Structures are given as C-alpha cells and as structure tokens.
Amino acid sequence: MYSLEVDPIEKCRYPMEEIMPIVSELAQKYTGCDHSSVTYEKAQMLMEAVVYCINEDGRQEGNALATKSIPAREAYENGRKIVKEKLMELRTLYHALISDFRDYGSMCLKDTVRKGIPAFLERYDFKYAPQETLLTLDYPAMRNYGALSGVDLVLCYLRDIQLEQKFLHRMGDKYIIKVLRKYHRDYEYLSENICGIVLQNVTGHMILDKPLPGQGFGQEELESLEEILSDKTEEQIKAYLLKALERLMAEYYDNDDRLLAYLGGGLSDIVTRIKYNTENHCLGQLFVL
C-alpha cells in the first residue's frame, strides 16, 4: 500500500483511517467524475492539504487541547474555513497596503510585493493545495518564519511588510533613499532588507542621542561611538537598543507593540555587525547618515 508521507513538522494527530476518507472525498472532488485514480504526487498533495487544514484548526487558540475530542472531518472543515478567512484577510491587507506602498527604489521589494503577492492571490488554491506557498518571497523580512507555509506564511510576511512601511513612512522618502544610497551605491539591485539598513543607521543616532535626519556622522562622532561600544557585550548593546526602540515607539509610533517586536527581532543581526565593525574600526559602514 502506498504510504503517503507527510512532513514531520506537520504530522497530524489523527490516525490514517480517519484522514483517508477525507482525502478520498477531496480526490474525487478534485478529479470530478473524470478520473478514478491519481498519481502519487497528486495524492500526496491532497493528503498534505487535508493535514494542513486540520493543523490550522489545531493552531487556533484554545483548540490545541480540544482538538483531540473532535472528529478529523470537523477539524478539517474548521481548518479549511480558517484558511479561506486568512486568504480574504490577505486580500484586504494587500489592498490597504498597496494604496500607499513605497519601495524606495528597491527592485526586490517592489517585485515581491507588486508582482509576487497578486500572483499568489490569483493562483493560490485554498481547497486542493492550501499548503503551497507558490512564491519565493525574495525580499527578506527581518523574521524567521520557520515551517510556516501557504497562506499562513504569506499573511505573516505581508503583515511584517506593513510594519516596515509604517516604520519607514515616518522618516520621509528623501531621507530613506539617502541612507540607502550611502549604504550602497546600487542599493536598488540589492536583495537586502531596507528596513534593516535604515534601522541599523538609526541605532547610531539612538546610541549618540543624535536627532534625525542630521548631516551624517562625522569622524569625531564615529570615534565616540567606538569608544562607547568597545567595552560593551552584544547583550548589553541589544538591551540598550531595545530600550531606545521602546522610547521611539512611544514617541512616534503610538506604542505599537507589534512594530517593536518586529524591529526588536532584527536587532540581533544589527548588534553583531555593530560589534564586529567596532572591533575593526569601520562603524562608518553601518552608520552612514
């Protein structure tokens, strides 16, 4: 008997004999009355679709313990409904985002959001392949999405892009573009997170308590930064910057916890680079404007 293997991360808590009838029904709907059999690949896809929806139901708050007590079919139907709702939420979010979306010249960001997301919305099959992400999401967000896939992943991703837009809009397009240009002459062609580049620059201002936008960092200021940072551990620098970010959120971003969490998540990499550049006396490569 063909054994349909499912990704270990997405293993289902229901036994095969409860899932197979659901997969069988889905397969018959998928093929209409035209085909009595499907290839292994198709069967695998449909199995993963069922498991994805069941796990979607399990991920809902409060369902983790209750899931075992409801039949697999009910968990699947609930999960499918949730997937459909998330797809609608993604569509709404995209339309809200795109009305004031700025790519600041980044081709990667522009293509991912303006072309990639609409392509996903057009091609995503929430019935027969909800687990498929379809996109490569080339523009890197400042978050590790782990094993997320399908509409879950794209929705989380777009929410993060929305947070980035909120952060960047406050600073004005001219300033953002200046920082990016100073960071790299051809920043438009980089596949780097532009929010992270700007945030990195802002940390220099936060450490020196230097207002934005300013005229950039002079030699004395860079030396001052080096002196401040040289005897600090990464943990200490991160803790300080987190506090500074909290103040920033309170003053300019109506205490947005989600934005704080997202930007805070990007600090680890920034702090590592700060520490390295401090040791190598090249903080000017990070604090560019």
Partner 1 sequence: MDQNNWMEEMAKQTLAAQVLETNQYTQKYGLVLRKEDAALLAEARADVLRDQKRVEFGPGILPKIIYAFCDSSYIYQDNYCESMARLQEIFFQYKNEMLDEITDDELLEFMREQFENVCRGDFDYLEGTCLDLFAQAIRAGYAGYRETEGKGVFEEVDIVKRWDRELYLEALMDLF
Site residues for partner 1, 156-195, by CB under 8 A, read: none
How far apart are CB 33 and partner 1 at their closest, in Å?
Answer: 8
The tokens for 144 are 């590790």
Q: Considering beta carbons, is residue 131 or 277 the nearer one to partner 1?
A: 131
Q: Which CB sits closer to partner 1, 1 or 65? A: 1
Other beta carbons within 10 angstroms of residue 29's beta carbon come to 11
For partner 1, give the closer residue by CB, 42 or 181. 42
Q: Total number of residues binding partner 1 (CB under 8 A)?
A: 20
Counting beta carbons within 10 angstroms of the beta carbon of residue 1, is it exposed (0 to 12), middle (13 to 18) or buried (19 or more)? exposed
Judged by beta carbon, residue 20 or residue 242, the one nearer partner 1 is 20
The three-state DSSP-derived secondary structure of 55-80 is: HHHHHCCCHHHHHHHCCHHHHHHHHH
Site for partner 1 in 2-61 (CB under 8 A): 2-3, 15-17, 20, 23-24, 27-28, 34-40, 42-43
Minimum distance from CB of 47 to partner 1 (Å)?
9
Which residues from 90-119 bind partner 1, rule CB under 8 A? none
* Three-state SS at 263: helix
Tokens of 186: 């051809």
In this complex, which beta carbon is closest to partner 1, that of residue 46 or of residue 267? 46
Q: Pick from 56, 70, 181: which is nearest to 126 by CA? A: 56
Measure the CA–CA gap between 158 and 141, rounded to whole angstroms.
Answer: 9
Rule CB under 8 A: which residues touch partner 1?
Answer: 1-3, 15-17, 20, 23-24, 27-28, 34-40, 42-43
